[in-house]
């Protein structure tokens, strides 16, 4: 286990793999440090966990924790009834994009992060694949999430093992943490990288990333590195009218020049969509979907994507465990991603209980409001 240790007034703070912060009360540490190693204290001792980057409370979700991996949209596994399974190992981001749909990085709305144990994630993934194999032949694991997946300390192990279980492994990333060596190590295991790149102008790229340390030249080098490996590169800018209008064409020219899209389409240009708990850039101009598609078509018809471009087909989902409107009594077991949201567990699913003032350990009478894709949201009655 790689960690750094520091002290403050009340705690001995271990930063593990650069992303998990374990705060062990000083008194506890002093009592046990002669008898146990630091690693044993971190693993079994009294501690509070935080995300070292976002400073939010963190749950480490392992098999022993008893929390299922289906039911939430921020962590675990999402099966939307196709042959693509979303794998979400971690929340939290090192950027602060001005348009972020999940208000990641330094956030006003997010109060909790989650990190899933890699063996648990793989075991549960394999069970889901065994179910889906009966209904579809080729299965893709797509690693994404509310945050940057390369912050996950076990990302290389995850990718390598996923590649043994399914046919295609793809990942979404902002590219900042990728290195030439990492790309070489993942070559042969990872089939496609969907890379966010929103501007070819250094100043605008920093503005959009919401981070003055964002290094566009690194992302450009990394893009070239991916394009010259066996990993396919899909460049995925978000078009932000009044910010990066001039960049879209430049990004396309750049991607074409370096050979993005060897196997799949090279570009996945996305329209900015305003979300209730997302960020909204101050100077953004509205663009409706028909204008967006018309503009894309006028550049190149091939910029319009469909699920068939990625061989995505319908494939039976796991049966739902709750009906809309169903009432049940649950124990609140974890803090939710945003304020006044708590998580409960029932029938091997996570349920997000929204608009609640109740605390951990309390019981709530709830009614299921959403069950789409086996993601469960309920109101506290």
| Residues engaged in binding ligand SF4 (CB under 6 A) | 93, 95-97, 100, 104-105, 147-148, 174, 196
Least spacing, CB of residue 144 vs ligand SF4, in Å: 9
Nearest to ligand SF4 of 16, 151 (CB atom): 151
Least spacing, CB of residue 83 vs ligand SF4, in Å: 25
- With CA atoms as reference, report the closest residue to 194 among 144, 157, 152, 147: 144
Nearest to ligand SF4 of 103, 225 (CB atom): 103
> In this structure, what is the dihedral angle of CA atoms 309, 305, 209, 197, given to the nearest 10 degrees?
60
Distance CA 309, CA 163 (A): 21
Q: Is the dihedral of CA 81, 137, 154, 347 positive or negative?
A: positive
Least spacing, CB of residue 163 vs ligand SF4, in Å: 24
Write the CA distances from 251 to 75, 244, 308, integer angstroms: 31, 10, 24
Least spacing, CB of residue 97 vs ligand SF4, in Å: 3
Nearest to ligand SF4 of 45, 175 (CB atom): 175
Rounded to a whole number, what is the distance in angstroms from the first to the last CA of the chain?
44
Nearest to ligand SF4 of 95, 251 (CB atom): 95
Least spacing, CB of residue 250 vs ligand SF4, in Å: 20
**Collapsing DSSP states into helix, strand and coil, what is residue 241?**
coil
Write the CA distances from 31 to 11, 13, 68, 219, integer angstroms: 13, 16, 35, 47
Nearest to ligand SF4 of 264, 272 (CB atom): 272
Nearest to ligand SF4 of 142, 161 (CB atom): 142
Distance CA 96, CA 93 (A): 7
Least spacing, CB of residue 205 vs ligand SF4, in Å: 12
Nearest to ligand SF4 of 104, 225 (CB atom): 104
Least spacing, CB of residue 116 vs ligand SF4, in Å: 17
Least spacing, CB of residue 359 vs ligand SF4, in Å: 29
User: Which residues of the chain form beta strands (DSSP E)?
Assistant: 3-7, 11-16, 20-25, 48-51, 57-61, 76-79, 84-88, 112-116, 140-143, 168-173, 192-195, 232-235, 238-239, 270-271, 327-335, 342-346, 349-354, 363-370, 377-380
Nearest to ligand SF4 of 174, 374 (CB atom): 174
- With CA atoms as reference, report the closest residue to 346 among 359, 325, 364: 364
Distance CA 373, CA 376 (A): 8
């Amino acid at each position: 286990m790689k960690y750094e240790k520091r002290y403050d007034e009340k705690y001995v703070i271990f930063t593990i793999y650069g992303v998990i912060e374990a705060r062990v009360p000083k008194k506890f540490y002093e009592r046990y440090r002669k008898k146990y190693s630091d690693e044993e204290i971190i693993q079994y001792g009294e501690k509070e966990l935080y995300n070292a980057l976002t400073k939010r409370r963190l749950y480490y979700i392992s098999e022993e924790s008893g929390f299922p991996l289906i039911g939430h949209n921020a962590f675990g596994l999402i099966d939307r009834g196709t042959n693509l399974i979303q794998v979400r190992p971690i929340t939290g981001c090192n950027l602060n994009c001005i348009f972020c749909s999940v208000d990641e990085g330094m956030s006003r709305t997010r109060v909790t992060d989650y990190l899933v144990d890699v063996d648990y994630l793989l075991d549960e993934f394999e069970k889901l694949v065994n179910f889906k194999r009966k209904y579809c032949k080729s299965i893709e694991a797509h690693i994404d999430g509310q945050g940057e997946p390369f912050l996950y300390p076990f990302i290389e192990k995850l990718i390598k093992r996923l590649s043994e279980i399914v046919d295609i492994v793809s990942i979404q990333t902002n590219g900042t943490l990728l290195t030439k060596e990492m790309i070489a190590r993942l070559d042969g295991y990872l089939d496609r990288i969907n890379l966010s790149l929103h501007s070819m102008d250094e100043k605008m790229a920093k503005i959009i990333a919401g981070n003055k340390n964002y290094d566009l030249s690194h992302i450009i080098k990394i893009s070239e590195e991916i394009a010259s490996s066996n990993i396919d590169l899909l460049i995925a800018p978000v078009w932000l009218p009044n910010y990066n209008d001039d960049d879209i064409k430049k990004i396309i020219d750049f991607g074409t020049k370096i050979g993005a899209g060897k196997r799949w389409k090279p570009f996945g240009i996305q329209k900015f969509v305003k979300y209730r708990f997302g960020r909204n850039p101050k100077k953004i101009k509205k663009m409706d979907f028909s204008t967006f598609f018309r503009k894309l078509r006028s550049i190149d018809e091939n910029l319009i994507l469909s699920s068939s471009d990625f061989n995505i087909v319908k494939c039976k989902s796991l049966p739902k465990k709750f009906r809309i409107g169903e009432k049940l009594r649950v124990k609140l077991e974890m803090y939710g991603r945003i304020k006044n949201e708590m998580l409960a567990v029932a029938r091997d699913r996570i349920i997000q209980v929204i608009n609640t003032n109740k605390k951990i350990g309390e019981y709530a009478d709830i009614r299921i409001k959403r069950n789409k894709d086996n993601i469960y949201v309920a109101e506290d009655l």
